[in-house]
Amino acid sequence: MLSVYATVRKDISGGKPLNELLEEWPYLFKSPYLFEHFDHLLDFNIRESMTTNMGVRSPKIYFQANDSHVAHTLKQKMLWKKRKMNHHKSLE
24 and 53 co-located in one domain: no
77 and 53 co-located in one domain: yes
Domain count for the chain: 2
14 and 29 co-located in one domain: yes
Which candidate, 77, 80, 67, 29, places its Cα nearest to that of 12?
29
Helix (H), strand (E), coil (C) string for 14-77: CCCCHHHHHHHCHHHHCHHHHHHHHHHHHCCCHHHHHHHHHHHHHHHHHHHHHCCHHHHHHHHH
54 and 87 co-located in one domain: yes
pLDDT digit string, tens, across residues 10-44: 998 999 999 999 999 898 888 888 888 888 888 98
* C-beta separation of 1 from 8 below 8 A: yes
Domain of residue 15 covers 2-43
AA identity, residue 89: K
59 and 85 co-located in one domain: yes
Residue 81 has pLDDT above 90, yes or no: no
User: Which pLDDT band holds residue 60 (cuts at 50, 70, 90)?
Assistant: low
25 and 53 co-located in one domain: no
